[in-house]
Structure 1
Amino acid sequence: MRPAGVVRKVDQLGRIVLPKSLRKRYKMNEGDPVEILVAGDQILLERYRPKCVFCGEMNGVTEYREKHICEGCMGEMAQIRA
């Protein structure tokens, strides 16, 4: 990961503003969910992508009863019920 060389201050409510150039580069729009990750002493921001609650897969994920489940795990659950 290469530093972007941008410095922003945290406001009284703990907010920071992402520069327009970064939002545009990473296709982040107003209202998009952002995931906050901590790795050691670093704070990482990522565009949120839902992951399967069972296996962590990010492709083919659908929401069922407010949980995200991938096609593979749904297929396995269908076999259990059969």
Structure 2
Amino acid sequence: MKNIKSAQVKKIDNVGRIQIPKYMKNNLKIKNGDYVEIYENGNEIIIKKHNASCIFCENLDSLTAFRDNFICHECMDKLKGI
């Protein structure tokens, strides 16, 4: 593991959740309701703040949430024309 600034041991609750410490959420500017990305890497689980982008063109502007994904207005207009 590289560039570790802090670490804690947390217990997984009976439905598989862990609580991210408040100071870590504050440092990464993660708010309640934000999306995170979860990766499996060998014997590690990596949790990263999700930077929302359009699932079709990766645009970062004018996004609308739809079923756990984001679609920009331009792509949404193109879909309406199909």
- Whether TM exceeds 0.5 here: the answer is yes
Counterpart AA for 2:28? Y
1:11 aligns with 2:13: yes
Unaligned runs of 5+ in 1: 75-82
1:2 aligns with 2:3: yes
Counterpart AA for 2:3? R
Larger radius of gyration: 1
Q: Secondary structure at the match of 2:48?
A: strand
Unaligned runs of 5+ in 2: 76-82
Q: Confirm or deny: 8 A CA contact 1:49 1:58 kept in the other structure.
A: no
- Give the TM-score, by structure 1 length: 0.60
1:38 counterpart residue number: 40
Kindly tell me the number of residue pairs found equivalent between the two proteins: 72
**What RMSD over aligned residues (CA atoms) do the two structures have, in Å?**
2.8
Change beyond 3 A, Cα 1:51–1:8: same
Q: Percent identity?
A: 31
CA positional deviation for 1:22:
0.3
